[in-house]
Amino acid sequence: MALEIGLWRVTDKAVALSPAKMPLESRLEQLILDDPAILETELLVVGHQVLTAHGKFIDILGIDVDGVVHIVELKRDRTPRDIVAQALDYASWVQTLSNDDVRDIFSKHNPGTDFDIAFAERFGGTPTPDDLNESHSITVVASDLDDSTERIIQYLSSSYSVPINVMLFRYFSDQGNDYLARTWLIPATQQTTSSSGGVHQRSTKAAWNGSDWYVAFGIENSTRIWEDARKYGFVSAGGGEWYSRSLRKLPVGARIFVYVPGHGYVGVGTVTGTAQPAFRAVLTENGEARSFRELDLSGDYGLHQDTVTRDGADVNEYIVPVSWQHTVDLPDAFWLKGLFANQNSACKLRHEFTISEVSKAFNLTMD
């Protein structure tokens, strides 16, 4: 039995409204373009009428905050066989798109608009994820649904985990007002997205230049102080394995972009030595090697601790020596919507927008 939606006007009694044919299906398409949230998922529209490599056009191609690509196809007057076959054909092409391909499609359909800025503006300042199109989904938008289409899509989704669903819209007109009601064929909690991991000819992850790293320098509770790090040339993290593990992976020679949570980017420099626990770390001051413990520090860095572990866990503050290329005072930290930031103490920085904007703000030479 085909899916149906009901709507009632309630006064002293409930009066059922009869669904009407939408004046133009193109109007529904425009409503989605104007506000993709009508599909219940916040999307950044990558392109409208996107030309595939096979000479066909995808109605709407979007991407969500997690980097999942969404194929949105209106049913129009096509048969169940046609609409499903077309949607699957589009998905077979979408799964081949690399991170760069997604960005290129956006640039073609949105000339003069930066993808990373548009992404941040759409998703409340969230930076673009490293992975774009690691998975995808298909949404067929319909104003009516026949039994055959419902059976086919239910079968593909439930039996073969094909990431396909139908968003059914019903149009109602009552006393001079127009209404749209919507529902999913398959409840959202049962929906899946298809991983594109089996497609080896493209990379969903943004390219890494092999040298740039992100470092988060947390200053909560005066454990560490940015002016200490700036003056003596280091970054640090600790208090547990989760915090120090990634910092200890920083290789000598890496260029690091340092971010203070809640403030912004404060420095760029080059790692000059391997990570060492604070109690035995050595830094160079005015050409002279000095024990970290001997420095005139404002932060405590766990130096009061006499034990290397607590309950068997490494809780040391780890110090990584750095030669600064450029630093700023904390009040002058640089921040823009869309810049990369996460909770890792250190990770590879693949975010070209961040590298470019911080480099420009700090007047650094782009390699």
DSSP for 276-307, written as a single string? EEGGG-EEEETTEEEEGGGS--SS-TTTT---
The more confident residue out of 233 and 148 is 233
Global pTM exceeds 0.75: no
Could you tell me if 295 and 285 are in contact, meaning their C-beta atoms sit under 8 angstroms apart?
yes
pLDDT confidence of 49, banded at 50, 70, 90? very high
Can you tell me the distance from the alpha carbon of 212 to that of 246, in angstroms, rounded to the nearest whole number?
14
φ, ψ of residue 252 to 5 degrees: the values are -60, 135
For the chain, the structural domain boundaries read 8-195, 212-361
Question: Binning pLDDT at 50, 70 and 90, where does residue 132 land?
Answer: very high
| Distance (Å, whole) CA 127 – CA 338 | 4
The answer to whether domain 8-195 and domain 212-361 are alike in fold is no
Of 99-103, 179-183, 333-337, the one with minimum mean pLDDT is: 179-183
How far is residue 11's CA from residue 88's CA, in Å, rounded to a whole number? 45
pLDDT digits (tens, 9 = 90+) for 346-358: 999 999 999 999 9
Q: Are 298 and 252 spatial neighbours (Cβ–Cβ below 8 Å)?
A: no
Return the closest-CA partner of residue 66 out of 203, 202, 207, 195.
195
Is the model's pLDDT at 207 over the cut of 90?
no
pLDDT at residue 202 above 70?
Answer: no
Segment 294-310 shows an average pLDDT of: 78
Q: Is the pLDDT of residue 255 over 60?
A: yes
Please tell me the distance from the alpha carbon of residue 149 to that of residue 153, in angstroms, as a whole number: 6
pLDDT band for position 93 (50/70/90)? very high
Kindly indicate the confidence band of residue 28, based on its pLDDT and cuts at 50, 70 and 90: confident
Distance between CA atoms of 183 and 166, rounded to whole angstroms?
A: 8
Range scoring the smallest mean pLDDT among 175-189, 202-216, 243-257 = 175-189
**pLDDT band, residue 61 (cuts 50/70/90):** very high
DSSP 8-state secondary structure symbol assigned to residue 246: T
Q: How far apart are CA 341 and CA 197, in angstroms?
A: 25
Determine the pLDDT at residue 308: 62
Reported as a pLDDT band with limits 50, 70 and 90, residue 188 is: low
Query: Looking at residue 190, what DSSP letter applies?
Result: G
pLDDT of 283 over the 90 cut: yes
Looking at residue 3, its amino acid is L
Q: What is the mean pLDDT of residues 114-130?
A: 91
C-alpha span between 90 and 52 (Å, rounded): 7
pLDDT (0 to 100) of residue 215: 97
Pick the closest to residue 204 from 100, 297, 307 (CA basis). 100
Q: How far is CA 13 from CA 10, 23, 178, 225, in A?
A: 6, 29, 21, 67
Q: Binning pLDDT at 50, 70 and 90, where does residue 41 land?
A: confident
Instruction: Measure the CA–CA gap between 51 and 57, rounded to whole angstroms.
Output: 5
- E strands along 64-163, which residues? 69-74, 135-142
| For range 209-223, the mean pLDDT | 91
Determine what percent of the chain is predicted with pLDDT higher than 90: 60
pLDDT at 313 over 90: no
**Mean pLDDT (whole number) for 318-341:** 96
- For residue 60, give Cα distances in angstroms to 6, 32, 87, 113, 267: 27, 9, 11, 18, 41
Q: Which residues pair with 320 in a beta bridge?
A: 235
| Lowest-pLDDT range of 8-12, 110-114, 197-201, 271-275 | 197-201
> Is the pLDDT at 11 greater than 50, yes or no?
yes
Spatial distance between the Cα atoms of 255 and 291, rounded to a whole number of angstroms: 24
Handedness of CA 304, 306, 312, 315 (dihedral sign): positive
Predicted confidence at residue 145, as pLDDT, reads 81
pLDDT of residue 193: 64
Taking residue 46's Cβ as centre, other Cβ atoms within 10 Å add up to: 27
SS3 string, 206-231, reads CCCCCCEEEEECCCHHHCCCHHHHHH
Closest CA to 153 of 142, 140, 143: 140
Classified by CATH at the fold level, domain 212-361 comes out as: ph1033 like fold (3.10.590)
Per-residue pLDDT band at 190 (split at 50, 70, 90)? low
Q: Would you state the pLDDT for residue 227?
A: 97
Please, which pLDDT band fits residue 1 given cuts at 50, 70 and 90?
very low
Q: Which CATH class is domain 8-195?
A: alpha beta
Q: 167 and 83 in contact (C-beta within 8 Å)?
A: no
* 321 close to 233: Cβ distance less than 8 angstroms: yes
